[in-house]
Amino acid sequence: MSKFTILLGGDLIRTPLLDRQVEGSRVIAADAGMSHARTLSLTPELWVGDFDSVPADLPDELAAVPRQVFPAEKDKTDGELAIAAALERGATSLVLAGAFGGKRTDHAFLHLALSVRLAEAGTEVLLTSGAQEGTPLLRGKAGFDYADGTLFSILGFSDLTGLTVTGAKWPLNHIEMAFGSSLTISNEVKGRLEIALGSGRALLLAHPFPLPES
């Protein structure tokens, strides 16, 4: 397996879990995502984008990272271009660091939807901000090692059928759920979380490192 970490421009905090998730991976930064290289003490092998959001005062080793420059008027986001570069280099597993939040809700939504499409094509994908993380859910069964009390939601990207959730405060047994339903928002882990899906596309969004309330 060839793992790549893609540094995106959304929110990111450094946690021990995130350090373990990116350890040993190859790294590509997407434009403003280069700022997270300092946060995570990583040096990317490539920096991709139109460079309209270059972080200020980069250390020399980051400023010297090889660049793949694209025009500002293009038909893909910097993040999608960085992911494409990783796939061209043989990536089979992706950690999308900085995939949530940030100034651009449209970009954050794209990362969620794109992760599902990548998973359908056979690429393992984890989206993360350090505080929360997302995993695509497709047909079949998957298990997750989250601590009891971890908040999670299942976001449907289509109608879902045969959805079963065990190891949760509010389990579900082979239900159908319409696209846009809030039924699977704000559940809690209670034991070994397992999710089975008969058909449809969804994303598990979990909060393994909750931030303090403001």
Is there a contact between 114 and 76 (Cβ–Cβ < 8 Å)? no
Alpha helix stretches (DSSP H) within the chain: 16-22, 35-40, 60-63, 78-88, 105-120
Domain count, the chain: 2
- Which CATH number do you get for residue 30? 3.40.50.10240
pLDDT per position as a tens digit, 94-143? 999 999 987 778 878 888 999 999 999 999 999 999 999 999 999 999 99
| Residue 68, domain member (yes or no) | yes
Whether 125 and 148 share a structural domain: no
Task: Give the model's pLDDT for residue 213.
Answer: 58
Using CA atoms, how far apart are residues 151 and 169, in angstroms rounded to an integer?
A: 10
pLDDT per position as a tens digit, 4-49? 999 999 999 999 999 999 999 999 999 989 999 999 999 999 999 9
Average model confidence (pLDDT) across the chain: 92
Using CA atoms, how far apart are residues 22 and 155, in angstroms rounded to an integer?
A: 25
* Of 63, 44, 66, 45, residue with least CA distance to 54: 63
**Residue ranges making up the domain that contains 180:** 136-205
pLDDT per position as a tens digit, 154-211? 999 999 999 999 999 999 999 999 999 999 999 999 999 999 999 999 999 999 987 6
Whether 61 and 105 share a structural domain: yes
Per-residue burial over 9-39, b if 16 or more Cβ lie within 10 Å, else e, is bbbbeeeeebeebbeebbbbbbbbbbbbbee
Ramachandran sector of residue 54 (left: φ over 0; alpha: ψ -120 to 50; beta: rest): beta
Task: Give the model's pLDDT for residue 106.
Answer: 84
Using CA atoms, how far apart are residues 211 and 74, in angstroms rounded to an integer?
A: 36
Across the strands, what pairs with 124?
A: 93
| Residue 28, domain member (yes or no) | yes
For residue 64, the one-letter residue type is A
- Which CATH number do you get for residue 163? 2.60.120.320
pLDDT per position as a tens digit, 48-80? 998 877 777 888 899 899 999 888 778 888 999
